[in-house]
């Protein structure tokens, strides 16, 4: 028989989630990277995403000023940098220099992309919701830059080969092996 459920106070336990590196710029030549776990897709068409950021973050001012940011997806090769950008502030240090990550020009927005990231999702803020500890930046995705090395000869993108990571209750994990594809639970066997 299953154990009894234990009642916990309300909190945040929707895990695993992505841990992405978000890049921002101030429009005066300064840019920064911060790690964000409170992020996700909110609409398919128009493509929209969100990030939730505490106002005390150094990046917050840049975000608010330009209304633009880039969500850079992370990988096993980038996990150390991902953690670092989430525990050091751009107020005190240059995280580009410290991590060795390379800023690149985005296609549409003024914030830079991280060249080492396999997917850069360029976003423009449409709405800011001051929810409480975090302010939610709702944004439209205005361009996506993918690293060509993960495209096969047919143009199919192999995200799995980039070795994406997830963040779960304080821990980073890689993904080990495919278990099914979208809708497989109701698909008729051939």
Distance in Å, CB of 12 to ligand FMN, minimum: 10
Residue showing the smallest CB distance to ligand FMN in the complex: 86
Name the residue nearer to ligand FMN (CB basis): 138 or 146.
138
Name the residue nearer to ligand FMN (CB basis): 16 or 157.
16
Binding residues (CB under 6 A) for ligand FMN: these are 19, 32, 34-38, 52-54, 57-59, 83, 86-91, 134, 167
- Taking alpha carbons only, the member of 38, 32, 107, 119 closest to residue 75 is 119
- How far are the Cα atoms of 76, 143, 158, 160, 167 from residue 151, in angstroms, in the given order? 19, 17, 6, 11, 25
Distance in Å, CB of 69 to ligand FMN, minimum: 11
Cα(23)–Cα(74) distance, rounded to whole angstroms?
13
Distance in Å, CB of 173 to ligand FMN, minimum: 12
- How far are the Cα atoms of 62, 121, 186 from residue 56, in angstroms, in the given order? 12, 24, 46
In 3-state terms, what secondary structure has residue 150? helix
Distance in Å, CB of 44 to ligand FMN, minimum: 22
């Amino acid at each position: 028989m299953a154990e009894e459920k234990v009642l916990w106070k309300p909190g945040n336990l929707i895990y695993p989630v992505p841990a992405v590196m978000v890049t921002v710029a101030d429009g005066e030549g300064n840019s920064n990277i911060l790690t964000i776990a409170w992020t996700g897709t909110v609409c398919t068409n128009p493509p929209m995403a969100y990030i939730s950021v505490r106002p005390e973050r150094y990046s917050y001012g840049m975000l608010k000023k330009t209304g633009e940011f880039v969500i850079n997806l992370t990988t096993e090769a980038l996990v150390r940098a991902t953690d670092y950008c989430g525990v050091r502030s751009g107020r005190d240090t240059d995280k580009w220099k410290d991590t060795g990550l390379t800023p690149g020009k985005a296609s549409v927005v003024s914030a830079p992309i991280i060249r080492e990231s396999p997917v850069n999702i360029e976003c423009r803020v449409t709405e800011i919701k001051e929810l409480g500890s975090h302010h939610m930046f709702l944004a439209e995705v205005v361009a996506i830059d993918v690293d060509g090395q993960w495209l096969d000869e047919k143009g199919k993108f192999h995200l799995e080969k980039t070795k994406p990571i997830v963040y779960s209750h304080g821990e980073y994990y890689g993904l080990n092996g495919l278990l099914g594809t979208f809708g497989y639970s109701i698909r008729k066997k051939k």
